Amino acid sequence: MYDGDIASVLITEQEISDKVTELAKQVADDHPEGDSDLVLITVLKGAVMFMADLARALPVPVQLEFMAVSSYGSSTSSSGVVRILKDLDRDIADRNVVIVEDIIDSGLTLSWLLKNLQSRRPRSLEVCTLLRKPDAVKVEVPVKYVGFDIPNEFVVGYGLDYAERYRDLPYIGTLDPKVYSS
Ligand code: PRP
Ligand code: MN
Ligand code: MG
């Protein structure tokens, strides 16, 4: 599949699976089954694979919410100004909430999202991201659960896309530069 487009495998399917188990344990330790279920909020579309695996690895009941956002400004760099295309279906007031992200790059989207969700008065609000690029960060966001810190390279797979492709790869890899230039 995608013959020759992937330059190298950065994180294997097994490594992802092990990390999901580890992160699920951390989240569950902090959120034992209580009077109301934990709410996982996913921002479409990159984080859907991670959310699906994390939700099934968590030994506590969770409810799933989805948001779709689009950032204003140039298409190559996010401006941090965000428009909501699809909002949550439910109120999160007084709920324990974990935002599930596939990757934190500049941190701009997440920074906006945290402010937006915080204003809805959840009981708690944390972030769980599979990947983070420390060298690309433009705005520091408090992130409680991080899977892997990775170099500032373009990565695809396990939900992450280039021009909407490669999300379906079961591992995370770097893209061959020939893909950008063709
Ligand atoms: C990607 C990724 C994160 C965000 C991180 O989403 O899935 O949500 O960018 O970037 P930032 O830290 O610089 O804000 P994208 O906007 O590509 O949409 P997608 O999830 O549908 O691929
Ligand atoms: Mn995304
Ligand atoms: Mg994308």
Please list the alpha-helical segments (H only) found in the chain. Answer: 13-30, 48-57, 108-118, 177-181
Ligand 1 shell residues, CB under 6 Å: 43-46, 78, 101-110, 161
Q: How far does residue 14's CA lie from ligand 3's centre (Å)?
A: 23
SS3 for 43-88 is: ECCCCHHHHHHHHHHCCCCEEEEEEEEEECCCCCCCCCCEEEEECC
Residues with CB under 5 A from ligand 3 (ion): 161
Q: How far does residue 34's CA lie from ligand 3's centre (Å)?
A: 35
Of the listed ligands, the closest to the CA of 105 is 1
d(CA 172, CA 26): 22
d(CA 18, CA 2): 25
Expressed in percent and rounded to 5, the helix, strand and coil fractions of the chain are 25, 35, 40
Measured by CA distance, the residue closest to atom 3 of ligand 1 is: 103
Confidence (pLDDT) at 15 = 98
* Residue pLDDT, tens place only, 73-115: 655 455 677 889 999 999 999 999 999 999 999 999 999 999 9
Give the model's confidence band at 3: pLDDT under 50 very low, under 70 low, under 90 confident, else very high: confident
**5 a catalytic residue:** no
Among residues 18, 105, 149, 176, which one is catalytic? 105
ipTM: 0.97
Give the mean pLDDT of 160-177. 96
Confidence (pLDDT) at 73 = 60
Q: How far does residue 46's CA lie from ligand 1's centre (Å)?
A: 7
- Of 10-14, 45-49, 87-91, 174-178, the one with minimum mean pLDDT is 174-178
Confidence (pLDDT) at 77 = 55
d(CA 155, CA 130): 12
Measured by CA distance, the residue closest to atom 10 of ligand 1 is: 105
Residues in the chain: 182
Nearest-5° Cα angle at 78, 83 to 143: 90
**Domains defined for the chain, CATH in brackets:** 13-153 (3.40.50.2020)
Q: How far does residue 103's CA lie from ligand 1's centre (Å)?
A: 7
* Residue pLDDT, tens place only, 130-160: 999 999 999 999 999 999 999 999 999 999 9
Of the listed ligands, the closest to the CA of 113 is 1
* Residue pLDDT, tens place only, 15-63: 999 999 999 999 999 999 988 999 999 999 999 999 999 999 999 999 9
Of the listed ligands, the closest to the CA of 103 is 1
- Spatial neighbors of 182 by CB under 8 A, at least 6 apart, are none
Confidence (pLDDT) at 78 = 59
How many CB atoms neighbour CB 33 within 10 A? Answer: 11
Confidence (pLDDT) at 82 = 84
